[in-house]
Amino acid sequence: MILAGTNISMTRGDTETLTVRCSEIFEPGDTVYMTVRSDAESPVEFQKEITEFGPQGEAVIVIEHDDTEGMDFGTYRYDIQVSRGDGRVTTLVKPSALKLTEEITHE
């Protein structure tokens, strides 16, 4: 498990989870987005959308094998944003690094 809010390093093709918490818990009607790109102007590599939250109001983002399997090794950029049911939008994790490291064992 990785706690969101820091630079992330993970092996390409692995499955990882990020737990996102903030001072105002997530509620039904909220949507948490994690977006990954090469840089701010490039196409989206993958995006995760969370609308169901844990028992303590946390968002659990699962990066699946298929999300990174076809990506090149290297450093990407990600951020995490919440769109509240009442229309407020807040960036919870400012643009940070997501580094995909090489894998030795793969299919």
CATH number at residue 27: 2.60.40.10
pLDDT digits (tens, 9 = 90+) for 2-11: 445 589 999 9
Contact 37, 76 (CB under 8 A): yes
Give the count of domains, the chain: 1
Asked if 49 and 59 touch (Cβ cutoff 8 Å), the reply is: no
For residue 66, the enclosing domain spans 2-101
pLDDT per residue as tens digits for the range 2-39: 445 589 999 999 999 999 988 889 999 999 999 999 99
Measured CA to CA, the distance from residue 42 to residue 64 in angstroms comes to 21
pLDDT in tens, 49-97: 999 999 988 999 999 999 999 999 999 999 999 999 999 999 999 899 9
| Its pTM surpasses 0.85 | yes
Tokens 């994790």 correspond to 93
Q: Count the neighbouring beta carbons within 10 Å of the beta carbon of residue 57.
A: 13
- How far is 90 from 83, CA to CA, in rounded Å? 7
